[in-house]
Amino acid sequence: MTHGSTSELRFPDGFAWGTATAAYQIEGATSEDGRLPSVWDTFSRVPGKTANGETGDVACDHYHRYPEDIALLARLGVSHYRFSLAWPRIQPEGRGGLNPAGVDFYSRLVDLLLENGIQPWVTLYHWDLPQTLEDAGGWPARDTAERFADFATRIHQRLGDRVTDWTTLNEPWCAAFLGYANGYHAPGRTDKAAAVRSAHHLLLGHGLAVQALRAGGARNLGITLNLYPVDPVTDTDADRDAARRVDGLMNRIFLDPVLRGSYPADVIADLASITDTEHVRDGDLAVISAPVDFLGVNYYSRHVVRAGGGTPGTGLSPFVGAEDVDFVRRPGWPTTVTGWETDPDGLHETLTRVTRDYGPLPLYVTENGVAYDDQVVEVEGESRVLDEGRRTYLEDHFRAAHRAIADGVDLRGYFVWSLLDNYEWSEGYGRRFGLVHVDFATQRRTLKDSGRWFAEVTRANGLEVAG
Ligand code: IFM
């Protein structure tokens, strides 16, 4: 389509445009209406574990303000909204019957989304494990996978009449390795073997949930992984081997079981000094590789690595199975307040790599976005956030996604992280990822300039480009 001297970079008809959030990061109301603590409620209260000791107790108060937030989604013109269910709100002890008030909250949320013409996209697990299940062993214990499948089955019975899109897990790498190996995330354990077992049990829970929801009639089922291109900083054998190991331990350790039904042999060998594979039982991999309808890709950056001594303070050390790898910052490369390098080509590379090595299969970018130090300013009597950097970041990544489609990737949708500025886990409230600014003292929401621009993208199903 052309308009004078400009044309539009169009996405395929029916392309899903959305934003994403997670329960603990936005809901607040952590002790209301029968919700019990999750591992994040506990962890965030441990001195020194989160920035300024911040917790998700109030967060964006979305539990009470969801109508206002859905109005913002409508303003953004999105076709979809991806949010997660708080397991400790719905099934507070992680087992047994559901909490009616918890189910009711999500039921009302789903209804209001649908009334606004927005398709709800549910993530079943975004890291808020009920504390009672952690006390019973957490993800290193096999039973947690069974509990998760039970939770998934029960809540699908309640919402499945209106929700067709289901993601089992969000970023199991973070839940397993940041949670159980380096203690940077809840529950804050530092036991490498436990982290490896956790990864397997998270995948098993995914597979069991896929089987159960499929049997219950769910139509669009998948999992979301945080994927990265991993490059060696030089072409030496040592650096290339470092890249192979990090790729194995971050990407292939999840991709291969889900999409090929096996663990990569090199990854098993890399982990041999940490744990054996006794926790992997006969039949598990068949469950884990139960067919999915899509893969969700969360993309933020690329890793460049070299063989070395392990970089303290990167949040990646000790890196299970690759403790002797350094993560390298490329001099002069643009970074954001998270310290992550901005690398849109890495999104194209990730999408084409998955398609080449595991596909073709339907893909969604289930998260991509950026944190900046945004401020609200008054411009001609109007409150604005002039976040040109975020607009540029998103535009560059949308273009990379479009190129991937042109190169044959079956990309079906794109969810910006995040709808709202929110609780960035151990980093507290200082990392603003939202298209909507939140003043955490007053809970006032202000649509950022990037959000205004995103509304144009969703309505045009594409970008305007100079003709
Ligand atoms: O905020 C997180 C989200 O919970 C998972 N993916 C990455 C985001 C930004 O760090």
pLDDT at 85: 99
Query: Looking at the predicted structure, is the pLDDT value of residue 1 above 60?
Result: no
Catalytic residue check, 341: no
Mean pLDDT of 202-225: 98
Q: Give the binding-site residues of ligand 1, using a 6 Å CB cut-off.
A: 22, 25, 171, 298, 367, 417, 424, 433
- Predicted confidence at residue 323, as pLDDT, reads 84
Question: Can you give the pLDDT at residue 464?
Answer: 83
Q: Once rounded to an integer, what is the mean pLDDT over residues 373-402?
A: 98
CA of 424 to the centre of ligand 1 (A): 7
Amino acid 308: pLDDT = 84
pLDDT in tens, 113-126: 999 999 999 999 99
- The per-residue pLDDT of the chain, averaged, comes to 95
Residue 188's domain comprises 2-466
What is the pLDDT averaged over residues 310-321? Answer: 61
pLDDT of 7 > 80? The answer is no
| Confidence band of 6 (pLDDT split at 50, 70, 90) | low
Find the 237 Cα to ligand 1 centroid distance in Å.
33
pTM above 0.95, yes or no: yes
Q: What confidence tens digit (pLDDT) does each residue in 69-108 have?
A: 999 999 999 999 999 999 999 999 999 999 999 999 999 9
Of 40, 432, 433, 438, the residue with max ligand 1 atoms within 8 A of its CB, to mutate for a pocket test, comes to 433
32 is catalytic: no
Q: Which atom of ligand 1 approaches the CA of 367 most closely?
A: 6
Task: Tell me which of 27, 134, 367, 424 is the catalytic residue.
Answer: 367
pLDDT over 80 at 457, yes or no: yes
Atom in ligand 1 nearest the alpha carbon of residue 371: 9
Pick from 184-193, 291-300, 303-312: least confident: 303-312
Q: What is the CATH number of the domain that holds 35?
A: 3.20.20.80
From the candidates 27, 134, 171, 395, which is the catalytic residue? 171
- Compute the average pLDDT of residues 159-165: 98
CB 387 within 8 A of CB 448: yes
Mean pLDDT over 449-466 rounds to 93
Q: Is the pLDDT of residue 169 over 60?
A: yes
Number of domains in the chain: 1
Q: Ligand 1 atom 2: the closest Cα is on which residue?
A: 424
Per-residue pLDDT at 4? 46
Please give the backbone phi and psi of residue 344, each rounded to the nearest 5 degrees, phi first.
-60, -35
| 368 Cα: distance to centroid of ligand 1 (angstroms) | 9
**Ligand 1 nearest atom to the CA of residue 25, by list position:** 4
